Structure formats: C-alpha cells, structure tokens
Amino acid sequence: MGDGVNSPRERRCSEGGAFYNADMNTPLNSWYARWMALSLVGLIPATLAQAQDEEIDFEKQIWPFLERSCVKCHKAPFEENGKTIKPKAGLRMDGAWAFKAGSENGSVMEAGNAKESEIWWRTDLPTDDDDFMPPTDKADPLSPEEKELFKKWIDQGADFGEWVGNLEGKPKEVSNTGEKLPVSEIQETYTKLSEGLAVPKEDMWKEVTAAGGRVMPLATESPLLSVDFRLVREEADDAKVATIAKIGEHIAQLDLSKTSVTDAGLAPIEGLKRVVRLDLNQTGITDAGLSHLKGLENLNYLNLYGTGVTDAGLKQLESIKSLKNVYLWEAKVTDKGVKSLQKALPEAKIVWK
Ligand code: HEC
C-alpha cells in the first residue's frame, strides 16, 4: 500500500481537531498559481480559464450534475419494496447542510480546498480505482469540465447561494446551510437579547425593504430581526445599508455579503449590541471597516471571506470575546495573524484556507 501519511484520506482523518491550517507554504497557494498550473498542463480549456474570477452558481452549475451522478445513492433514506434504503456511507448530497455534515466517517468537504475534499478527489481518481465515484457503470461519471467546475466551486468556498435542498433529517443545531449553531448557547443568547425589547412594527423597516433589503423576525413574535441584502447584492451601497439604523437595536443577524458597502458604510453597525451574526464576505471591506465592530458585544459569527482584511484588522477583533466563528478564506491575512487571533480567542473556530 502507498504512503498512508500523504494520502488525502489519511490527511482528512487527521484534520478533525485543528481549527485552522498552519501549512501556509504550499507552493500553489494562490488562486492564480493553481489556475496557471492547471492551464499549463492543458487540463482546462482556455475559455474556462478566462472565467476564473466568476463566482460559480451552485444551483445552476453544480447541482445538475451531482443530481445526475451522485444523489441516487447519497440522499435521504427512502422505502423500496418494504425496505429502508439508507444513504451510502451515511453521506447525503441532497441538502446544503448535509454536504457539510459529511458521512459516517466524518467530513468529506473542506470549503476552500477541493484537493483535501474527499467528495471531489473521489471523482478525480482513475476510473478503475475502487474508491472512484460514482462507482463504475452505476451512474454517469463527471466530465472533465464538470470535475473542474466542482473543484473550483469548493476552492471558492463551497457557497450554496440560495440553494437549501432537502431539510428532512437536519439536526436542530445546524442552520439550513450547515453552520453549527450551538443551539442551547445561541438560543440562550437570543432569549437574553429579547428581554425588555418590544416586537417592532413592520412599518419600522419599510425603508430597508425599499432599499432592497429583506427583514424577517427570527421567530414568530420575536423582537429580534434578521436582515439581508441578498436580493440586490452589489446594488446595495452605503446609503441603502444605512436604512437599517432605525431598526438597529433589533438586528440579531445582518448579511451584507456581496453588497457594495464600504468601510465608512459600516458606521451604522457601530454599537448594535444585539448583532450575533454578521456576514461581510465578498465585500470591499478592509481593516478600517472593522473598527466599527468594536461595540458588538454579542457577535458570535463573523464572515470576512474574500475581503481586504489583513492581520492588522484581525488585531481589532481580539477584543470581541464573544466571537466563536470567524471565516477568513481569501482574505489578506497570514499564518501569523490567524495564530495571534486564535490565541486571543482560544474557543473560536477560525476557518481561513
Ligand atoms: C451507485 C451508487 C453510488 C453513486 C451513484 C455514488 N456513490 Fe458515492 N458511495 C457509494 C458507496 C456504496 C459508498 C461506500 C463505499 C465506498 O466508500 O467506496 C460511497 C462512498 C462515497 C464517499 C465516501 C464517504 C466516506 O466518508 O466514506 C464519497 C465522498 C462519495 N461516495 C462521493 C460520491 C460522489 C461525489 C458521487 C457522484 C459523483 C457519488 N459518490 C456517487 C455509492 C455511490
């Protein structure tokens, strides 16, 4: 048998406890370098290489071929001839949360790193390998283009976009997209944050809605709100984001991902002490913007994927002791900066490459 230490399976198994990957010095570290390497050996056609910066849409570009080639064996249990057919290896691929939940052997997908993701490398083996997926003659294999797209999607961070899929069987403590919410802790936080706060009237957020934002109570009769701009994305500029000021004290979840918000545009967030979750991924935010986060004393989840944040910005996060989940893929941070943040926030899960 081969050198077990270097096989992806071995590495996958040793991953478990590490919250960030300290091995920063892989030669093909940047997107561009990885892409160039692939292009040079002719694995991808030039037209695909040109599209390297475009973000892949899971539902449109990935789901159709996974549904065709994988899902019949990797989906929720179903009855057939009086027997319950369970998903193979306990792995379901029919819901966003399920991909992240992995199989009976643990995680199969490392967002941001396709090569370390069993769900991808199994499709990239020689077709006569026992581990090749889908099993030979049982379903159509992925075409080279599909494999490349699948790889790129995982490398980009495995964002499911609006796609949720099948929620049947989803544990309570994970969100629809598979983020772990320590349910008791988070719910306690929400209960505490709701105390003494009146349920807001809908016309309090008509300006947010007019600006393209979506506002939803966290639960029926909850005074806490979730706000996102996913319907308008880059059209949401600072002025539009500023409309949230009126409902600021009610906001528990704020998703500004892919908007045009600038560092200065985060000023309205300052001091919003009920914000538990903040998505700033794929925005132009830099270190300067993070200075507005200081008063967020209940912030648990912060997504800075694809932003201009550097190690200096991470320094400003060190004082937010409530932080438990920090996402830094494709931000401008280094090994050193992430280590220092991990030291300041020992309980936090920091994901960055
Ligand atoms: C015909 C049924 C079938 C299809 C279709 C199929 N698989 Fe599988 N899959 C299996 C079986 C059986 C196993 C368990 C045996 C093994 O590990 O090889 C498995 C195991 C796996 C595992 C390993 C899980 C673990 O941690 O042990 C991964 C990852 C996987 N499949 C991915 C895929 C992907 C991706 C596709 C589509 C490209 C796919 N499978 C299509 C039957 C299938």
Q: What is the pLDDT of residues 105-161, one digit of tens each?
A: 999 999 999 999 999 999 999 999 999 999 999 999 999 999 999 999 999 999 998
For residue 335, give Cα distances in angstroms to 113, 124, 305, 314, 331.
16, 29, 15, 12, 12
Note the pLDDT of residue 50.
44
pLDDT at 96 > cutoff 70: yes
Among residues 284, 298, 279, 305, which one has the least CA distance to residue 226?
279
Cis status, amide bond into 134, omega within 30 of 0? yes
φ/ψ of residue 155, rounded to 5:
-60, -30
Topology of domain 183-351, CATH: 3.80.10
Look at ligand 1, atom 30, and give the residue with the nearest C-alpha. 119
Minimum-distance ligand 1 atom for the alpha carbon of 138? 1
73-85 pLDDT tens trace: 999 999 999 999 9
State the average pLDDT over residues 289-301.
94
Note the pLDDT of residue 11.
38
Tokens of 299: 């912030």
How far the first Cα of the chain sits from its last, in Å, is: 30
Among residues 79, 75, 78, which one has the least CA distance to residue 90?
75
Q: Degrees (nearest 5) of the Cα angle 103, 148, 93?
A: 25
Biggest CA-to-CA distance, the chain: 67
Is 326's C-beta closer than 6 angstroms to any atom of ligand 1? Answer: no
Minimum-distance ligand 1 atom for the alpha carbon of 134? 41
Is 109's C-beta closer than 6 angstroms to any atom of ligand 1? Answer: no
pLDDT at 16 > cutoff 80: no
> CB-side exposure of 85: number of CA atoms within 13 Å?
11
**Percentage of the chain with pLDDT > 90?**
74
State the average pLDDT over residues 1-21.
37
Look at ligand 1, atom 11, and give the residue with the nearest C-alpha. 88
Rounded to the nearest angstrom, the distance between the alpha carbon of 134 and the centre of ligand 1 is 6
Window from 36-40, 159-163, 260-264, 335-339 with minimum mean pLDDT: 36-40
From 74, 118, 153, mutation site for ligand 1 pocket: most ligand atoms within 8 A of C-beta: 74
From 118, 122, 128, mutation site for ligand 1 pocket: most ligand atoms within 8 A of C-beta: 122
Q: How far apart are CA 122 and CA 126, in angstroms?
A: 9
State the average pLDDT over residues 280-309.
95
Instruction: Indicate where the chain has its CATH 3.80.10.10 domain(s).
Output: 183-351
State the average pLDDT over residues 13-27.
33
Rounded to the nearest angstrom, the distance between the alpha carbon of 177 and the centre of ligand 1 is 21
